[in-house]
């Protein structure tokens, strides 16, 4: 049993401020997941990120998200092309933090 805790927790008692999101496409069906930047950051309580598509003629994202955290979404392919899928959250101080991934839609598949 090592008792070397050294009270490291006390150096990090201020929460990491959310600065943005890394967005990942997890399959070719348009499932996206966002992870906070920095990785230790959390989305503040009551803040639900919103997803948008840069061109709804190529792909759409649902306006009402079934995921209560708002950190995942499923885009729907409309036509072929390249677009940005963006997640954005407005913090209590009015600052908007976001993340974007550029994806290509071809024959209903995302890449």
* 61-73 pLDDT, tens digit each: 998 999 999 999 9
Whether the per-residue pLDDT at 107 is higher than 80: the answer is: yes
Question: Residue ranges per domain, the chain?
Answer: 18-110
Average pLDDT, the chain: 90
User: Which residues make Cβ contacts (< 8 Å) with residue 40, sequence separation at least 6?
Assistant: 16
Rounded percentage of the chain residues whose pLDDT exceeds 70: 87
Give the pLDDT confidence of 2-33 residue by residue, as tens digits: 555 554 444 444 678 999 999 999 999 999 99
Q: Region 31-53: what's the mean pLDDT?
A: 95
Q: What is the pLDDT of residue 16?
A: 86
3-state secondary structure at position 49 = coil
Q: Where are the beta strands (DSSP E) in the chain?
A: 20-25, 31-37, 50-53, 59-60, 72-74, 76-77, 81-90, 96-106, 109-110
Q: What is the pLDDT of residue 10?
A: 45
Q: Are 32 and 25 in contact (CB under 8 A)?
A: yes
CATH code for 18-110? 2.60.40.1080
Structure tokens at 15: 């929460």
């Amino acid at each position: 049993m090592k008792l070397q805790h050294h009270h490291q927790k006390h150096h990090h008692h201020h929460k990491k401020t959310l600065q943005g999101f890394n967005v990942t496409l997890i399959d070719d069906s348009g499932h996206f997941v966002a992870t906070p930047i920095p990785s230790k950051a959390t989305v503040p309580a009551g803040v639900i990120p919103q997803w948008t598509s840069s061109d709804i003629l190529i792909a759409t994202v649902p306006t009402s998200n079934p995921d209560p955290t708002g950190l995942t979404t499923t885009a729907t392919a409309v036509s072929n092309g390249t677009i940005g899928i963006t997640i954005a959250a407005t913090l209590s101080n009015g600052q908007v933090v976001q993340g974007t991934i550029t994806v290509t839609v071809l024959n209903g598949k995302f890449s």
